[in-house]
Amino acid sequence: ATPTALLVGTGRGAQLGILIKGPQVLESTRTVDTVVLDKTGTVTTGEMSVVDVVPVDGVTDAQLLRLAGALENASEHPIARAVVAGARDRCGELPAVADFTSETGVGVRGTVDGHEVIVGRASLLGSWAADLPPEVAAAKATADAAGRTSVMVGWDGAVRGILVVSDRVKPTSRAAVAQFKRLGLHPILLTGDNAAVAAAIAAEVGIDDVVADVLPAGKVDLVKRLQVDGKVVAMVGDGVNDAAALAQADLGIAMGTGSDVAIESGDLTVVRGDLRVVADAIRLSRRTLGTIK
């Protein structure tokens, strides 16, 4: 392989909207056989909005949004941005949060207006969520069935309600998945979201293999397990919680709409966040290296 030919490849890449870290990246791009796709921000737009607010008896929509929004104000997660926007719409200025902590891929906790508040997966609320109020359980079941993400909100020892957020599959994702399959690549949808939501999104884009309810460390483990099985793995993510998995993959692909973390950990960066460009990059690298052998 002559360096010049490889650089032509990287130059073409830039035209397509891909930033390639170095010519050596093209070799792993060429040999990839499995593409692991993070859900939020990769297959979906990650531009979420709150579509349903369900408080328990005795709590108002505004109270639920105000405490959840104040807490989420300290988080960068797409869900957090949606909750903050919804809360500001409804409540205006939000109170300050103290003692904020975030558990990546699980949720957030902190003190707002003197209340200990938690927003996230039921597991983060622990015993508070042991007996879900019936209206919350019903709202969660409805959201799951519709393929919509929901998060529990609790304070001072009890679940106080649930927020449902909507995300949209990117209009380009289904075509991208079809292209991966045509290239002989096996696509897998990976997410920290629950299995019902994951299955709905997977069906919408044509992915048959889904791994859901995964914590950030589990994302790295999945990539490792595939590699132990002899797979050459491309991992595509937005980096909010998958930077380690991007680094573990044979080819880490960062969606350009994501965080700087992802862009740094990626071998390839897809500038405009269009998944079809990943398929283009794989085709390009096969062709480039094919001609210089």
Residues near Mg ion (CB under 5 A) are 38, 40, 240
- 13 vs 239, which CB is nearer to Mg ion? 239
Which of 73, 75, 269, 285 is the binder for ligand ADP (CB under 6 A)? 75
- 119 vs 284, which CB is nearer to ligand ADP? 119
Contact 111, 141 (CB under 8 A): no
Catalytic residue, candidates 33, 38, 52, 209: 38
Q: How many residues bind ligand ADP (CB under 6 A)?
A: 22
The structure tokens 């207006």 sit at 113
Using rule CB under 6 A, residue 167 touches ligand ADP: no
Q: Is 33 a catalytic residue?
A: no
Smallest separation (angstroms) from Mg ion to the CB of 82: 14
Smallest separation (angstroms) from ligand ADP to the CB of 187: 15
Exposure string over 97-106, b if 16+ CB within 10 A, otherwise e? beebebebbb
3-class DSSP state of 169: strand
- 7 vs 195, which CB is nearer to ligand ADP? 195
Token couple for 115? 């209340």
The structure tokens 């003197």 sit at 114
Of 122, 116, 127, nearest to 141 by C-alpha is 122
Which of 143, 240, 277, 278 is the binder for ligand ADP (CB under 6 A)? 240
Smallest separation (angstroms) from ligand ADP to the CB of 79: 5
Using rule CB under 6 A, residue 110 touches ligand ADP: no
Point out the residue whose Cβ comes nearest to ligand ADP: 192
**Rounded distance, CA 55 to CA 58, Å?**
8
Which of 120, 133, 161, 256 is the binder for ligand ADP (CB under 6 A)? 120
Which of 30, 121, 170, 276 is the binder for ligand ADP (CB under 6 A)? 121
Cβ neighbours for 253, distance < 8 A, ≥ 6 positions apart: 234, 235, 236, 237, 246, 266, 267, 268, 269, 270, 278, 281
Cβ neighbours for 102, distance < 8 A, ≥ 6 positions apart: 74, 75, 108
Using rule CB under 6 A, residue 77 touches ligand ADP: yes
Which of 30, 39, 66, 170 is the binder for ligand ADP (CB under 6 A)? 39
User: In a 10 Å sphere around its CB, with 0-12 CB exposed, 13-18 middle and 19+ buried, how is residue 199 labelled?
Assistant: middle
Token couple for 226? 């595939």
Instruction: Residue 97: name its binding partner from Mg ion, ligand ADP, none (Cβ under 5 to 8 Å by kind).
Output: none
Instruction: Residue 30: name its binding partner from Mg ion, ligand ADP, none (Cβ under 5 to 8 Å by kind).
Output: none
Q: Give the strand pairing for 251-255 and 18-20.
A: unpaired
User: In a 10 Å sphere around its CB, with 0-12 CB exposed, 13-18 middle and 19+ buried, how is residue 182 labelled?
Assistant: exposed
Instruction: Residue 179: name its binding partner from ligand ADP, Mg ion, none (Cβ under 5 to 8 Å by kind).
Output: none
Using rule CB under 6 A, residue 38 touches ligand ADP: yes
- Mind telling me the catalytic residues? 38
List residues binding ligand ADP (CB under 6 A): 38-40, 72, 75, 77, 79-80, 105-108, 119-121, 149, 151, 191-193, 240-241
